[in-house]
Amino acid sequence: MGNKTKGLLALLGLGALAYWKYKNSSPEEQQAVKDKINNAKDNLNKWGNDLKDKANNVASQVQEKVDGMKEKAEETVNQN
């Protein structure tokens, strides 16, 4: 068995154990798990959106620089 297979089996084992624990826990505990998952999802979405905003800001700054360079180049060409 390769390391990947062992890792996958370990992951499946952990998943099965977590599922079994979840199924055998009280509704309150199940709700706590759901809340944790939802919070993690919200944080991930927020992080993703922050990343998108940053990428868009960088892209628009680059576009402004390119536009500025174009204008300078046109001015130089027009002067000659």
Q: Using one digit for the tens of pLDDT, what is the confidence trace for 3-37? A: 889 999 999 999 999 899 999 999 999 999 999 99
Query: pLDDT tens, 40-73?
Result: 999 999 999 999 999 999 999 999 999 999 999 9
Amino acid at site 38: N
Output the pLDDT for position 63. 94
Number of domain units in the chain: 1
pLDDT value, residue 1: 75
Q: What is the pTM of this model?
A: 0.49
Amino acid at 4: K
- pLDDT at position 80, please? 75
Cα(23)–Cα(25) distance, rounded to whole angstroms?
Answer: 6
Range of the domain at 35: 2-79
Looking at residue 43, its amino acid is N
